[in-house]
């Protein structure tokens, strides 16, 4: 249902913008034909992919796409005109490892409530994410199909969502959040968290294939499997490898049959290699990877979707078992970022915030933290142009087929932020969206405007 409706809405938008996207502004659709026309005048543009700021540019948005970029554009009379006054216009930010449902809810809230409450809480989390300047997220586990649909339909405010749906985990794996009272389990006895699409437990090739297909049926744009030990889970020491080669390969083959790919949670080096061997295209975390393994990312054209996890203010609240596991992660962060950068690994930016509204508020600050290893340009490019490249791996399953994301260019989706200051000189600005982001636009719609 969801895919159908998302395609329908894309088609409707296509009809609205067809008249404007290929023609000059003067021939742009009139007030009767277009729901939206905005001219941002006199901006310095960071395109997402190039280190140079292009100064003195006007950007004309027709419908939900960027229609024209150039100096001294003449807007049609009906256009909303925003004077940028030399402020810097950047593409909307992308978080490649986000959990809409889990980011802000505490475990206590999730355990004591049902889907209705989760959805209300997540709709607030969606809105807050958008107002931090994140206009697209790749959701890497959780019951997000309906939230993604509601966002696209305009029922709620929020970023575009590339949903993975419920993460698929083996018994005792990283997403097995059942209690020991749930075992021994039988196929007819599902945990309530499984039936509410929080996670799916699947053991053996047939079960893995079934769950992968069920996620595709519901609108997954990529498939997430747990391939090794994680921090917040209860039954899996950090060193564990999860899923057999046959199980991972079956998931990869099924995803590829649908034109998309598998991403895996893999922190320890063996799990990372196991994933690469199976044909996984995006390895999440990878904090214990060796130099040889990182070279394999380059050789096999695999994305490293890593988080700036350190033992600092952004460390999550953990019990002793989890803390011991987290140390393996934080100990690896510095080496892996430095080495991956040196070797030319494709690195995605994602935050993987879990169970804390306070930490979620620091989504942009996490991006600014990349300054330890990257220039502001490299970090900003990662969260825009590069993350958008990663999203392209969803191929024909993308919910947003009309133009590129993560860039400012003619024909791209009009997802942009007008920054009061130059983030290429001061990346800390993205960590303070409330004061630094004067305009937040997604899909051609202005959500925030403090310019006037
Ligand atoms: Zn995650």
Q: Answer whether residue 16 shows pLDDT above 70.
A: no
349: containing domain: 93-373
Question: What pLDDT does 187 receive?
Answer: 79
Question: How far apart are the CA of 165 and the centre of ligand 1, in A?
Answer: 12
Are residue 147 and residue 87 in the same domain, yes or no? no
Question: What pLDDT does 188 receive?
Answer: 84
Q: Answer whether residue 452 shows pLDDT above 80.
A: no
Question: How far apart are the CA of 206 and the centre of ligand 1, in A?
Answer: 25
Q: Answer whether residue 318 shows pLDDT above 80.
A: yes
Q: What is the percent of the chain where pLDDT is above 70? A: 92
- Residue 303 vs residue 34, higher pLDDT: 303
Question: How far apart are the CA of 8 and the centre of ligand 1, in A?
Answer: 30
Are residue 88 and residue 116 in the same domain, yes or no? no
Are residue 322 and residue 351 in the same domain, yes or no? yes
Question: What pLDDT does 20 receive?
Answer: 35
Question: How far apart are the CA of 28 and the centre of ligand 1, in A?
Answer: 43
Question: How far apart are the CA of 140 and the centre of ligand 1, in A?
Answer: 6
- Please give the tally of structural domains in the chain: 2
Question: How far apart are the CA of 287 and the centre of ligand 1, in A?
Answer: 13
Whether 11 and 400 have beta carbons less than 8 Å apart is answered as no
Judge whether 28 lies within some domain.
Answer: yes
Are residue 437 and residue 353 in the same domain, yes or no? no
Interval 59-84 mean pLDDT: 95
Kindly report which listed range (39-48, 318-327, 336-345, 379-388) carries the lowest average pLDDT score: 318-327
Residue 15 pLDDT level (bands cut at 50, 70, 90): very low
Question: What pLDDT does 186 receive?
Answer: 87
Residue 30 pLDDT level (bands cut at 50, 70, 90): very low
CB proximity list for 180: less than 8 A, separation 6 or greater: none
Whether 328 and 268 have beta carbons less than 8 Å apart is answered as yes
Q: Answer whether residue 6 shows pLDDT above 90.
A: no
Judge whether 379 lies within some domain.
Answer: no
Question: What pLDDT does 26 receive?
Answer: 36
Residue 7 pLDDT level (bands cut at 50, 70, 90): very low
Residue 4 pLDDT level (bands cut at 50, 70, 90): very low
Judge whether 391 lies within some domain.
Answer: no
pLDDT in tens, 330-360: 999 999 999 999 999 999 999 999 999 999 9
Question: How far apart are the CA of 12 and the centre of ligand 1, in A?
Answer: 34
Question: What pLDDT does 87 receive?
Answer: 97
Are residue 21 and residue 143 in the same domain, yes or no? no
Q: Answer whether residue 5 shows pLDDT above 60.
A: no
pLDDT in tens, 370-422: 999 999 999 999 999 999 999 999 999 999 999 999 999 999 999 999 999 99
Judge whether 115 lies within some domain.
Answer: yes
Interval 320-336 mean pLDDT: 92
Question: How far apart are the CA of 102 and the centre of ligand 1, in A?
Answer: 9
Question: How far apart are the CA of 99 and the centre of ligand 1, in A?
Answer: 7
Are residue 13 and residue 85 in the same domain, yes or no? yes
Residue 329 sits in a domain of what CATH number? 3.20.20.140
- Residue 150 vs residue 24, higher pLDDT: 150
Question: How far apart are the CA of 37 and the centre of ligand 1, in A?
Answer: 38
Are residue 192 and residue 289 in the same domain, yes or no? yes
Q: Nearest to residue 201, comparing CAs of 219, 183, 218?
A: 183
Question: How far apart are the CA of 261 and the centre of ligand 1, in A?
Answer: 17
Whether the ω angle into residue 184 lies within 30 degrees of 0, i.e. cis, is yes
Question: How far apart are the CA of 65 and the centre of ligand 1, in A?
Answer: 31
Gap between the Cα atoms of 116 and 106, Å rounded: 16
Are residue 218 and residue 319 in the same domain, yes or no? yes
Residue 419 sits in a domain of what CATH number? 2.30.40.10
CB proximity list for 371: less than 8 A, separation 6 or greater: 379, 427
Q: Nearest to residue 421, comparing CAs of 84, 88, 53?
A: 88
Interval 35-54 mean pLDDT: 95
Q: Answer whether residue 65 shows pLDDT above 90.
A: yes
Question: How far apart are the CA of 369 and the centre of ligand 1, in A?
Answer: 18
Q: Answer whether residue 101 shows pLDDT above 90.
A: yes
Question: What pLDDT does 133 receive?
Answer: 98
Question: How far apart are the CA of 98 and the centre of ligand 1, in A?
Answer: 7
């Amino acid at each position: 249902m969801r895919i159908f409706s998302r395609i329908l809405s894309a088609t409707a938008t296509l009809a609205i913008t067809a008249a404007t996207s290929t023609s000059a502004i003067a021939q742009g659709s009139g007030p009767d034909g277009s729901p939206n026309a905005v001219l941002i005048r006199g901006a310095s543009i960071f395109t997402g992919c190039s280190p140079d700021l292009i100064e003195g540019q006007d950007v004309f948005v027709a419908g939900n796409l960027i229609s024209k970029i150039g100096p001294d554009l003449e807007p049609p009379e009906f256009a909303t005109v925003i004077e940028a006054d030399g402020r810097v216009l950047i593409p909307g930010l992308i978080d490649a490892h986000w959990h809409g449902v889990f980011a802000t809810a505490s475990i206590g809230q999730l355990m004591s409530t049902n889907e209705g409450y989760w959805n209300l809480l997540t709709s607030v989390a969606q809105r807050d994410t958008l107002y931090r300047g994140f206009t697209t997220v790749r959701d890497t586990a959780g019951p997000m199909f309906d939230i993604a649909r509601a966002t696209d339909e305009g029922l709620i405010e929020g970023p575009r969502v590339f949903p993975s749906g419920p993460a698929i985990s083996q018994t005792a794996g990283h997403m097995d959040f059942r209690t020991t009272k749930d075992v021994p389990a039988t196929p007819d006895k599902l945990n309530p968290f499984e039936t509410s699409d929080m996670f799916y437990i699947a053991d053996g090739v047939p079960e893995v294939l079934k769950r992968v297909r069920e996620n595709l049926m519901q609108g997954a744009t990529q498939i997430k499997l747990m391939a090794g030990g994680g921090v917040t889970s209860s039954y899996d020491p950090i060193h564990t490898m999860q899923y057999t080669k046959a199980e991972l390969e079956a998931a990869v083959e099924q995803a590829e049959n649908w034109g998309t790919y598998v991403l895996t949670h893999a922190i320890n080096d063996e799990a990372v290699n196991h994933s690469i061997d199976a044909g996984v295209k995006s390895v999440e975390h990878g904090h214990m990877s060796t130099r040889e393994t990182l070279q394999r990312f380059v050789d096999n054209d695999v994305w490293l979707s890593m988080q700036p996890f350190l033992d600092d203010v952004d460390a999550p609240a953990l019990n002793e078992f989890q803390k011991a596991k987290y140390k393996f992660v934080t100990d690896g962060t510095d080496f892996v970022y430095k080495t991956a950068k040196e070797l030319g690994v494709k690195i995605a930016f994602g935050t993987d915030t879990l169970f804390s509204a306070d930490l979620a508020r620091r989504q942009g600050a996490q991006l600014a933290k990349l300054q330890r290893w990257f220039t502001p340009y490299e970090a900003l490019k990662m969260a825009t142009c590069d993350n958008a490249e990663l999203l392209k791996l969803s191929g024909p399953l993308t919910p947003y087929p009309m133009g590129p994301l993560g860039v400012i260019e003619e024909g791209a989706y009009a997802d942009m932020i007008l920054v009061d200051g130059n983030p290429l000189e001061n990346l800390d600005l993205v960590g303070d969206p409330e004061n630094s982001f004067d305009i937040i636009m997604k899909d051609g719609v202005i959500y925030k405007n403090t310019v006037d």
